[in-house]
């Protein structure tokens, strides 16, 4: 079975400082991993996805994540936080169906990012 664990429910950073949101995964197969962002009263938006092509994945708005199989981690980073980055971030793994195809998404509990001026 697949699962993800987000290690921090809330992260607070100052504008202009680096962002690190931590995620560990568990999967019996080579996983497909994602980060989604949800701004207040807005829908879920895909930030980036890992599908085994490259371990360092670049996403939108300057975010990137590195897949580390030895550590079963997929942490999200950004060099310099912006006020507009304040949102909730979800680490997500895709369920693997019988036959190997991808199915529904399995979400972590979320990390709320606050950005102080």
Partner 1 sequence: GAGVSQSPSNKVTEKGKDVELRCDPISGHTALYWYRQSLGQGLEFLIYFQGNSAPDKSGLPSDRFSAERTGGSVSTLTIQRTQQEDSAVYLCASSLVAGEQFFGPGTRLTVL
Applying CB under 8 A, the residues found at the interface with partner 1 are: 42-46, 49, 90, 95, 97, 101-110
**Considering the complex, what minimum distance in angstroms separates the CB of residue 107 from partner 1?**
4
Nearest distance from C-beta of residue 59 to partner 1, angstroms? 12
Task: Rounding to the nearest 10 degrees, give the CA dihedral for residues 93, 96, 101, 105.
Answer: -40
Nearer to partner 1, 53 or 117 (CB): 53
> Cβ closer to partner 1: 67 or 90?
90
Nearer to partner 1, 18 or 103 (CB): 103
- Minimum Å distance from CB 95 to partner 1? 8
Q: What is the rounded CA–CA span in Å between residue 93 and residue 61?
A: 21
d(Cα 54, Cα 72) in Å, to the nearest integer?
15
| Residue 73 half-sphere exposure toward CB, CA atoms < 13 A | 12
């Amino acid at each position: 079975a697949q699962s993800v664990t987000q290690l921090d429910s809330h992260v607070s950073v100052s504008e202009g400082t680096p962002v690190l949101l931590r995620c560990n995964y568990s999967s019996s197969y080579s996983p497909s991993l994602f980060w989604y962002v949800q701004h207040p009263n807005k829908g879920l938006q895909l930030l980036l996805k890992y599908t085994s092509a490259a371990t360092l994945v670049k996403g939108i708005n300057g975010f990137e994540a590195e897949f580390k199989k030895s550590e079963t981690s997929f942490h999200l980073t950004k060099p310099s936080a912006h006020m507009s980055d304040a949102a909730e971030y979800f680490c997500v793994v895709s369920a693997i169906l019988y036959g190997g195809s991808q199915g529904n998404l399995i979400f972590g509990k979320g990390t709320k990012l606050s950005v102080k001026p």
